[in-house]
Structure 1
Amino acid sequence: MNFLAHIYLSGDDELVTLGNFMADGIKGKQYKKFSPRLKKGILLHRSIDTFTDAHPTVRQSTRRLHAKYSHYSGVIVDILYDHFLAKNWQQYSKVPLEQFVSDFYDSLDRHYDVLTNSIQHMIPHMIADNWLLSYAKISGIATVLHNMNRRTRNRSGMDRAVEDLQEHYTDFEHEFTSFFEELRAFSTERLEELNTEFPDTNTTDL
């Protein structure tokens, strides 16, 4: 669910960004059926997830939640980290968040046909409720967590995690800031490797 971070870490290529954005629904070797630029995004997404899941700072954040939320803790931390990225956006991009999000939504429209069915079905809800921009406010995170809890048929209790965010706000923000610098460096290096592996960057390649 950390959509904003994955989009941000994709660089300037729209199709790499879209591949990264929709990668969660593409399992195993299914990525091979996509174009080189989409493949890069999918593989970048997987590398980011692997790096994140193994990182000691992220694990520290996750441990704070584990007693209450068990295996959902990692999902919650992803969402909380997107909040801090959105809240502190000006530290990471010269493009205002509102413009960045609007440009991404336009990209979804331009390349609608290359998106997976599940993403196509999700887009109207995402844009109508402006998920990416809403992450900057605690109220927006509360809505995301509420909706995630509903998807688990209220078994996860994730809607209550906004209380943990507020209680440990400074700790979570410090952990995000420390971790994200390392993730940015890792993602830049990994994308360079993928550009070498998939050198076809023709802008007409869909």
Structure 2
Amino acid sequence: MNFLAHIYLSGDNELITIGNFVGDGVRGNKYKLYPREIQIGIQLHRHIDTFTDAHPLFRQCTKRLHKGYGHYSGVIVDIFFDHFLAKNWKTYSDIPLDVYISNFYKSLSKNIDILPPRIKRITPIMIEGNWLLSYARIEGIQTVLNGMNQRTKGLSKMNEATKELIEHYAAFETDFTLFFEELKTFSKMKRIAIEKQFQDV
């Protein structure tokens, strides 16, 4: 999953949310260098990604993209799913999306000194460009995909993927809606299990 989903699936704990957000930026056992609650968030991030990558509905979505985007298909679907989460936000939260995101940005800024270097570098850019709120619009997704394509020096052609999003919009949205209900349940149970593991140590 991409940024917005990882944040949402963290629950209400600020540091667990930060840990889930930075999960991709922390490799191997380096998560142990962080405070306990951030460790929980990083572990949760990894479990969410494993569950997602193996899920039949997610794989069904990546198959629509494999021909044109190969192993980048999963990354693209992650971004598409953040679009549907943002677009349908009222289904998932009573807090308005702009307020929710603003609160997260404040939390991120407050904890910026403990972020991994790469995440620390992109945080001001993310906040200034309000990336998370932009996900609700296809134009915002296009901007994200443009940036990802640049990071691959144009090899991924991810900037072209909004064509498939528009062409198969209803199918992608249906798959997201069904999948996300399962992911919410999984994430809540896994978060509780990880917290218990840390308490037992």
Fold agreement, TM-score > 0.5 = yes
What is the CA distance between 1:124 and its match in structure 2?
1.1
Aligned partner of 1:151 in structure 2 is 151
What is the CA distance between 1:119 and its match in structure 2?
1.1
Aligned partner of 2:131 in structure 1 is 131
Give yes or no for contact 1:40–1:194 (8 Å, CA) kept in 2: yes
Asked if residue 6 in structure 1 is aligned to residue 33 in structure 2, the reply is no
Stretch moving more, 1-10 or 41-50: 1-10
How many residues are treated as equivalent by the alignment? 200
Aligned partner of 2:172 in structure 1 is 172
Aligned partner of 1:181 in structure 2 is 181
| SS in structure 2 at match of 1:18 | helix
Aligned partner of 2:161 in structure 1 is 161
What is the CA distance between 1:199 and its match in structure 2?
3.0
Per-residue Cα deviation, 1:55-82 (whole angstroms, up to 9, x for no partner): 0000000000000000000000000000
Aligned partner of 1:203 in structure 2 is none
Per-residue Cα deviation, 1:7-40 (whole angstroms, up to 9, x for no partner): 0000101000000101101111111111110100
| SS in structure 2 at match of 1:16 | helix
Aligned partner of 2:103 in structure 1 is 103
What is the CA distance between 1:111 and its match in structure 2?
1.1
Aligned partner of 1:53 in structure 2 is 53
TM-score, length-normalised on structure 1?
0.95
Give me the whole-angstrom Cα distance separating, in 2, the residues matched to 1:71 and 1:84. Answer: 22
Aligned partner of 2:116 in structure 1 is 116
Question: What 5-or-longer segments of structure 2 have no aligned partner?
Answer: none
Give me the whole-angstrom Cα distance separating, in 1, the residues matched to 2:103 and 2:197. Answer: 28
Aligned partner of 2:19 in structure 1 is 19
Give me the whole-angstrom Cα distance separating, in 2, the residues matched to 1:48 and 1:146. Answer: 25
**Matched-pair identity in %:** 56
What is the CA distance between 1:109 and its match in structure 2?
1.3
Per-residue Cα deviation, 1:128-172 (whole angstroms, up to 9, x for no partner): 110000000000001100110010000110000001000000000
Per-residue Cα deviation, 1:103-134 (whole angstroms, up to 9, x for no partner): 00000111112111111110111011100000
Give yes or no for contact 1:4–1:132 (8 Å, CA) kept in 2: yes
Stretch moving more, 38-47 or 25-34: 25-34
Aligned partner of 1:71 in structure 2 is 71
Which stretches of structure 1, 4 residues or more, deviate above 4 A after TM superposition? none
Give me the whole-angstrom Cα distance separating, in 2, the residues matched to 1:40 and 1:48. Answer: 12
Aligned partner of 2:28 in structure 1 is 28
Give me the whole-angstrom Cα distance separating, in 1, the residues matched to 2:95 and 2:104. Answer: 12
TM-score, length-normalised on structure 2?
0.98
